[in-house]
Chains A and B, each alone.
Chain A
Amino acid sequence: MLGVQMVKLEHVTKEFDDTIVVDDLNLDIKAGEFLTLLGPSGCGKTTTLRMIAGFEKPTSGKILLNGNQVDDMEPYKREVNTVFQSYSLFPHMNVYDNVAFGLKMKKVGKEEIKERVTKALKLVQLEEYGTRKPKQLSGGQQQRIAIARAIVNNPKVLLLDEPLGALDLKLRKQMQLELKHLQQTLNITFIYVTHDQEEALTMSDRIVVMNKGKIEQIGTPREIYEKPRTRFVADFIGQTNILDGNVSAVNGDMATLELADQTIEIPNSSEVALKEHAFLSVRPEKMKVSNTPIEGPINLKCTFKEKIYVGSVTKIVVRLSDGKELTINESHENIAELTNNNDVYVSWNPENAVMLIK
């Protein structure tokens, strides 16, 4: 399914009034890929998208679209279309004219326009709504029209700037899957911007996690979630426990980490050096709590603080001797008898812990 390279960003930097918003970005996006730019607000993800669309020009660097350099090309000459955050439907045109706008600009014949617009409206299940004005539609319907207006042009790349941000949670979840299926049906390259990590994990083939104008990590949803490379990624995607300590010994593939007043053996995945400060990320659902140490995996002695019922799981909060708190998710039936302020042992399989940089 993933074929040739469709979009390439080479050393792209964007400055606004001496503030670096996008910093030396390199990115390859393949044809037919669903790629998500994920990060907190102000991380440069929207600016990156706007540079691909042509609304911003990079301060330096190159943008290639289907092999052609486009960074100086006007937006109306690029074979990309955008679904805007606020939909930006033309309020003075009805739904049909909104969707037909791009085709009219390209001087497509009247018959073909009618055929393609009808097909696009059918695709978003709004073929009955052609004569309505955008303000007569609900938010979800406006969203679909915005998508239809973009895809009717058969763009090489579809850019989506937080398109589901204004919808309520239930509709958003439904639209996430619809968009994903639409992308698979059309086989168009999607570049999707969001700050919602769950949305990114649900929809993407690959996720680019951005922070402060730089890429923190690129990977499949699974890689991003299970093998975060940096502290930022581990923290931003889902919940995690980050343990930090000094490396007291390195022995081949294994390293010894000093945590509070304990030591644990960990696989040296990011090749830490002796005496270095290292960070370890373990997801709450990968940890177990018991009253006695468990044979085999790593055991960390802690003090039990509290347990919180949150519906799907029970969260158990324990405290290390240096005061740091860890959260563990346990299914309700596996919870041991725990007493406040008693010593407990937190354990996990070494392969479920990830060594982080920074």
Chain B
Amino acid sequence: MRARTKKILFSFSLLVFLFFYIPILFVIIFSFNDSKLGTVWTGFTLEWYGSLFKNSQLIGATLNSLYIAVITTIIATILGTLAALALHRYTFIGKKSVEFLFYIPVVIPDIVVAVALLAIYGLLNMSLGLNTAIPGHVAITISYVMLVVLARLSSFDSSLEEAAKDLGANEWQTFWRVTFPLIFPGIMAGALLAFTISLDEFVISFFTLGPGSNTLPVLVYSMVRLGVSPEVNALSTIIILLMVIVVVVVGLRMRKGENLNEKKL
């Protein structure tokens, strides 16, 4: 009976993982497929990787996406970290409300943010371009950064800051030499989250980008209406590879940080 339960659970888990990863696997496999239609395997080729780098539209959209993601990550990480530090360190009237305001963008649908931004841009008579997508991206990612950094700070022993000041470090030195290195894994995790959310954000980009300036998800969306091109498969494979590398590197770094931060009693 127990062995059977184990078997069933194993099969079920296997099915869930297959469900997750078979589509991704297909994308990777078909990026090497020597057929334009992309539904039948006809042979191995690296042609799509070659033509990908000649496809100025796809390359342009990828660069746009990376540009927005990098700017968004920088702004959201700085602001989110500062917000977390303020909420962690100070008590002030309305602190709970401020904290609550930071949770709202997490639960609010992206479409609401998109429409609201569009309305504001209209009101201000701003013309849409590439940069008009950034405020929306920052708005939805800043909360994630703040929440992750705040979680990190809650396990931070603030007597370490007192120790630094006691040893002659001023506020600035204390922050950079003690606080920052110790919450850095949290900041990195928050930044990574912001980066990935921004990179595959579709709704806000779709609404707030100006004509001609596409991000990758927006371009792919318009392309797939005519069928998925093998170049998109090739591009997706490269992005998957890059993200896996980033997550593994950050994960290893964070684990190292965790070990250092563990308090021995």
Contact = CB atoms under 8 A, between A and B. Distances in A.
Interface of A: 53-55, 74-76, 80-82, 84, 86, 88-92, 101-102, 105-106, 133-135, 137, 139, 142, 149-150, 153, 166
A105 B157 CA distance: 21
Most B Cβ at <10 Å: residue of A90, A91, A153: A91
B160 A76 contact: no
A106 B168 contact: yes
Given A92-B182, A105-B173, A153 B167 contact: yes
B169 interface: yes
Most A Cβ at <10 Å: residue of B157, B167, B263: B167
Contacts, number: 76
Given A86-B157, A91-B182, A135-B262, A105 B162 contact: no
A82 B169 contact: no
B159 interface: yes
Contacts of B181: 92
B213 to A, nearest CB: 43
B155 to A, nearest CB: 11
Contact of B265 (A74, A133, A166): A166
Contacts of A86: 157, 159
Contacts of A102: 167-168
Q: How large is the interface on B (under 10, 10 to 19, 20 to 34, 35 or more residues)?
A: 20 to 34
A77 to B, nearest CB: 8
Contact of B165 (A74, A89, A137): A74
B91 to A, nearest CB: 11
B2 interface: no
Nearest to A133: B260
Nearest to B162: A55
B11 interface: no
A101 B167 contact: yes
A137 B264 CA distance: 9
B127 interface: no
* 8 nearest A-B pairs in the assembled complex, by CB-CB distance: A102-B167, A105-B168, A88-B163, A75-B165, A88-B159, A82-B166, A135-B264, A76-B165
Given A75-B162, A84-B159, A91 B167 contact: no
A139 B263 CA distance: 11
